[in-house]
Amino acid sequence: MIVRSGHSGHLSRSTKPPFGKVDEFRQGLVLQSLWHHPIPRRCIKMLVLLGLLCFFSVALSVNLHHNLEARLKHEAAAGSFPPPRQTNQHTHDPTIIRVGDTFYLYNVGEHIFIHTAPTMAGPWKHVGSVLDANAATPKGDRAVPWAPDVVYVDGTFYCFYSVSNAGCRDSAIGVATSLLPGPGGWYDHGTVIQTGRGNGSDVYPYTESNAIDPSVLVTPDGKPYLTFGSYWNGIYQIPLDQSLLSPLSTSDPDTKHLAWVPGTTSSPARNTNNLCGDSTGPHPIEGAFISYNDGYYYLWFSQGYCCNLVKTKLPSAGSEYSIRVGRSRDPRGPYVDKSGEDLTDGGGELVYGSNGDTYAPGGQGVIRIGDTDVLFYHYQNMSIGLAFSDAYLGFNPLKYVNGWPIVLA
């Protein structure tokens, strides 16, 4: 709106100042000039509106923060979970497949560790690594790629992996293939997608996401999908081409936004930028995995803080890693929790959380053994330690009640 002043606002020299002191008169003159002059007055009103907008934005952010924190504390107090089935196997971000009578465990380690065992409980034996050298993608920690996901499709094993640096989204997801699940014979094809910097990173959703924690699903009709994401704006999904080595489209990826945590549980880190740190504060959601059971696709994810934990400075109760899920009839979503809340609005059914000495379970996946789905994950044992290398592999069978998974002892 344009506001016109009714007069010039000029005071003649003969006008007696209505103030007690000359300095007060000068201040009054400046204020009157600012109010009555059309351009400054418009600017002042704009500043007032901007101020109000900032105020309400901050108020909304604080409200989301308090609501999220209250919900997490309530869930932590109400939660009662069975302990993990023991494996005595250290791991982080595990993925497990079964080939014949042998289980294969792939996890974070130099060039992606491979372990084998006759049962989920072990004994697990380190037999080698997926890659023979550093990851082909020139980003992040190439010697120790993160969060592998291994799938078997049409006679080929695909190992998807992540390279990044903690707290930054200058990341990439790569893939290696082999005709055998064990070490040796893997070929690293390099980058599938990347965020932050590099070829294709200027296309949505790579402009606002973090390309780590891959999970690949191939539907019964043969359509492959890559689900990924960590912190920032959450978890996304894109179709892959039939080779599973690249997106179906590089210019228009047909993206679905599947899950997010709108609120935050702490303040933004200092000196954030577009690549490292989030100016809106941390949105702790990651580790997506999609399974299928009896007509529903289940989107599993880890919510909360997982790493660099210190016993004397633990996050507030319920803010540590926990395993959550939503479901959908369509692999592309939308996914909702038991109350019907969309996962992109902060929904997510709590399935497994801290209990006893078991702390911060996450990095999960699901494997079907016979007719039973089994949830596997890493967790910290509070009686042993909270270091990254202290994490253990745990697992529990699942049952479904009214279509919702429940963890069994």
Catalytic residues: 93, 286
Distance, in Å, from the CA atom of 407 to the CA atom of 322, rounded to the nearest integer, reads: 13
For 84, 177, 233, 278, 380, the CA distances from 298, given in Å and listed in that order, are: 21, 26, 20, 28, 25
Cα 7 to Cα 38: distance, rounded to the nearest angstrom: 10
Nearest-angstrom CA–CA distance, 35 and 5: 9
Mention every residue, 6+ apart, whose C-beta is less than 8 A from residue 392: 84, 86, 87, 88, 89, 90, 91, 378, 379, 380, 381
Nearest one of 135, 141, 125, 195 to 159, comparing CA atoms: 135
What DSSP line would sit under 274-339, residue for residue?
SSBS-TT----EEEEEEEEETTEEEEEEEESB-SS--GGGPPSTT-B-EEEEEEESSTT---B-TT
- Note whether 244 and 178 are within 8 A (CB): no
> Rounded to 10 degrees, what is the CA torsion of 58, 69, 344, 302?
140
Token pair for 205? 């959703």
